[in-house]
Amino acid sequence: MIDINVLSNILLVDDDDTSIFIQSHLLTNVCKYTGNIQTCYNGKEALDYIESKGKFANTENTPPRPNLILLDINMPVMNGFEFLEAYGKLSKDLKGGVVISMLTSSVNEEDRKKSQNFEELSEFIIKPLTQEQLMGIVDKHFGK
């Protein structure tokens, strides 16, 4: 199994503080992740982060590109599907090498089907994310 610390930056996109706490705990305490964890509370904020816009606009210190994005569906301002639509239109230099996994509490089969329309989306996982699922993602996408 590959070491999760091959990832330098993980982006959590979720509006629920409890989910963010659980994911962060899993990453740092269980999986011993020592890289950067960035949190965005909706899809618009996540796009701003990726594009270095809005509150992330700083010419001297560009935010690190995420290797992995854990994306919720149901959020205010811009939901996960709206994020994926906008993300799909970004330039390849902003998207290259980024893995997106949808991490949701939705058990709606329509959401799972809709998620299959986005080529940028790698996985559809029902919360809570487990260590085995997380390490499977890392191994699948960042292993040799």
Residues facing residue 124 across a β-bridge: 102
107 vs 60, higher pLDDT: 107
Q: What is the pLDDT of residue 8?
A: 93
Mean pLDDT of 84-101: 92
Q: Is the alpha carbon torsion for 39, 135, 2, 91 positive or negative?
A: negative
Q: How confident is the model at residue 97 (pLDDT cuts 50, 70, 90)?
A: confident
Mean pLDDT of 44-65: 86
Of 12, 69, 17, 75, nearest in space to 42 by CA: 75
Q: What's the mean per-residue pLDDT of the chain?
A: 92
pTM of the model: 0.94
> Is the pLDDT confidence value at 62 over 80?
no
Q: What is the pLDDT of residue 59?
A: 62
Say which range, 1-10, 31-40, 50-59, 92-101, has the weakest mean pLDDT. 50-59
Mean pLDDT of 13-22: 96
Q: What is the pLDDT of residue 106?
A: 82
Yes or no: say if 50 and 44 are a contact pair by the CB < 8 Å rule: no
Radius of gyration of the chain (CA): 14
Residue 62's contacts (CB-CB under 8 Å, 6 or more residues apart) are 52
